[in-house]
C-alpha cells in the first residue's frame, strides 16, 4: 500500500492507493480540488461507475478515504415482503432429505 498522509498543521492532502495483485489495471493518481466549500476528487473514466445517478458512501478510516455505492436499506425489502399475498408459500417449501455429509 502506498500512502501519503494528512497533517492539519500543514494542511496537506495525502492520498492512499492500494494495489491488489488479483486486480488488473494501472494505479491511478488524482488531485483534490475545491468545489464550493468542499473538496472533490475526479474519478478517472476507466474507474467510473456505469451510472451517474447512484448514491455513494464516503468513509474515513485513519488516513484513507473510501468511496463505494451506498448500501440499500432493508426497509425496501420489507415493503416488498408486505406485497406477498396470504397464500404465498401456503403449502410450504416441501421437505427435502438432508444429504449425508462427511464429519469434520
Greatest alpha-carbon span in the chain: 68
Separation between Cα atoms, residue 70 and residue 7, nearest integer Å: 28
Average pLDDT over residues 26-30: 80
Residue 94's pLDDT band, with cuts at 50, 70 and 90, is: confident
| Beta carbons within 8 Å of 88's beta carbon, 6+ residues apart | none
Cell 408459500 -> residue? 89
Q: Which domains can be identified in the chain, with CATH numbers?
A: 2-69 (2.10.260)
58-83 pLDDT, tens digit each: 999 999 888 888 887 777 788 888 88
Residue 21: is its pLDDT beyond 80? no
Task: Calculate ∠ Cα 20-32-44, nearest 5°.
Answer: 50
Amino acid at each position: 500500500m502506498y500512502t501519503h498522509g494528512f497533517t492539519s498543521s500543514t494542511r496537506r492532502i495525502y492520498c492512499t492507493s492500494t494495489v491488489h495483485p488479483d486486480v488488473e489495471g494501472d494505479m491511478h493518481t488524482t488531485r483534490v480540488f475545491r468545489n464550493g466549500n468542499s473538496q472533490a476528487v475526479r474519478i478517472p473514466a476507466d474507474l467510473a461507475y456505469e451510472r451517474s445517478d447512484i448514491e455513494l458512501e464516503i468513509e474515513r478510516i485513519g488516513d484513507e478515504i473510501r468511496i463505494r455505492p451506498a448500501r440499500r436499506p432493508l426497509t425496501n425489502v420489507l415493503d416488498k415482503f408486505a406485497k406477498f399475498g396470504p397464500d404465498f408459500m401456503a403449502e410450504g417449501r416441501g421437505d427435502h432429505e438432508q444429504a449425508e455429509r462427511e464429519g469434520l
